[in-house]
Amino acid sequence: MVLFRKRLAVFPLILLCCSLLLIPPAPYLSADPEQSAPAAAPSAPPSSTPSFPDNEEARRLMQQTLSATEIQKEIERIAAEQHALEQKTAALSSQAARKKSDIAEKEKRAGAIVRAYYTGDRDPLLTAMLSAKTLSKWFILLDYYEMIMGHDREILAEYEKEYKDLRTTLAAAERSSQELAELRSALEEQKLRVEALHKDINGAIQSSGNPESMAALLEEFTAYWQNIGLHEVKTYFKALSAAMTHLPQFVESRDGVLTRRGMTYELNLKEADLNEFLHSENKLFDNFAFTFKSGSVIATGKSGDLSLRLQGHYTIQEEPMNGLMFHVDSIIFNGLELPDTTRKSLEEEFDLGFYPSKIVSFLRASEVDSKDGVLHVKLTLSF
């Protein structure tokens, strides 16, 4: 918190530089809420509240800088994943080559056995056994015949096992190679995106009234986002994810939310009920409101100097567990929209899903929609 206050103290100076470059800025909020306690109102007078410039060009540059910063993080993540996958692919290919070499001799022996049966080379053994003159000789030939047959089966079984193992390794190497190709394609795509953004940003900086001050402003804004802004967004996602784990118990205990119609159930969660639930889970949500409309779930609010707007939608997921999965469509932090790479990263890091089986083990979600202030979920029985 001390680090945060220090950064907020210097932030107005940076934005003052921007006001000299462009037009006078209008106030906008951005700060650090505490998860464990109710968000406090700003103690400083309005004139000292840090603000983003209300000039369209300046805000466009900040938006592009934010996108470039986040996409660069995605590039670094993909590059690290690509490096790990390259090592895995090489190891699998080497392993497959060794297995293929080791299995060559067993393949010859198995082939010889199969040919022996196919060409009738084993028939004399059976004929000799059937033509035995005495019972003792017949048992001796039977033991000999079973020993040979057993040895043949062992060789064939061993070959079959190693052959399946080889095929599994080859398939894994092929999948790894395909994933690597997809990663390389994604990496190139993101590099092109960030290069285009940097080109646009550098051009706008040079064409501004004071390139050095504008560059310094954007550099400070980048540091602010990386050290404070992203942390605060994650704080809210973490709190929301933790609250969602308790939503099934709330639905089960709330009269009228879950109703039965024959062999199906209907879950109708009003936005007022969801807001009451979230406020009871964490004081962080006291200044936030969640709404359901037109297939979307929207959360908006301000806490202290933080402004956040989250919009997403639910879809049905079957594997690995049936449930309602939340997909992030947009996140606007203090008026700036976060790029798709950040939305995807947050969606993967924090589970905001709802799982009906946690209400009743044999319930599964089959339909979902949100409109007119209500989240509608159709549930069916699954035994």
Q: Which domain holds residue 183?
A: 77-187
Q: pLDDT value at position 133?
A: 59
Tell whether 90 is covered by a domain.
yes
Residues whose CB is less than 8 angstroms from the CB of residue 304 and which lie 6 or more positions away in sequence, other chains included: 29, 31, 32, 33, 39, 40, 41, 42
Tell whether 58 is covered by a domain.
no
Tell whether 360 is covered by a domain.
no
Instruction: State the pLDDT confidence band at 274, using cuts at 50, 70 and 90.
Output: very high
Tell whether 173 is covered by a domain.
yes
C-alpha pair distances (Å), 71 with each of 148, 324, 341:
66, 28, 6
Among 42-51, 143-152, 259-268, 281-290, the range scoring the smallest mean pLDDT is: 42-51
- In the chain, alpha helices (H): 2-21, 56-119, 123-130, 135-207, 211-224, 230-244, 247-253, 271-281, 340-349
Say how far apart CA 383 and CA 380 lie, in whole Å: 10
> What's the whole-number average pLDDT of the chain?
75
Q: pLDDT value at position 32?
A: 34
Number of domains in the chain: 1
Tell whether 342 is covered by a domain.
no
C-alpha pair distances (Å), 264 with each of 314, 352, 365:
20, 24, 10
- What is the average per-residue pLDDT within 121-129? 56
The pTM of this model reads 0.61
How long a stretch of residues is the chain? 383
Instruction: State the pLDDT confidence band at 238, using cuts at 50, 70 and 90.
Output: very high
Residue 304 pLDDT exceeds 60: yes
Q: pLDDT value at position 37?
A: 35
Tell whether 313 is covered by a domain.
no
Quick one: how far is CA 342 from the chain centroid?
A: 11
- What is the average per-residue pLDDT within 164-189? 83
Say how far apart CA 271 and CA 151 lie, in whole Å: 72
Tell whether 121 is covered by a domain.
yes
Residue 60 pLDDT exceeds 90: no
Q: pLDDT value at position 23?
A: 33
| Whether 141 contacts 128, CB under 8 Å | yes
Q: pLDDT value at position 55?
A: 67
Structure tokens at 303: 């806490």
Residue 242 pLDDT exceeds 90: yes
Tell whether 164 is covered by a domain.
yes
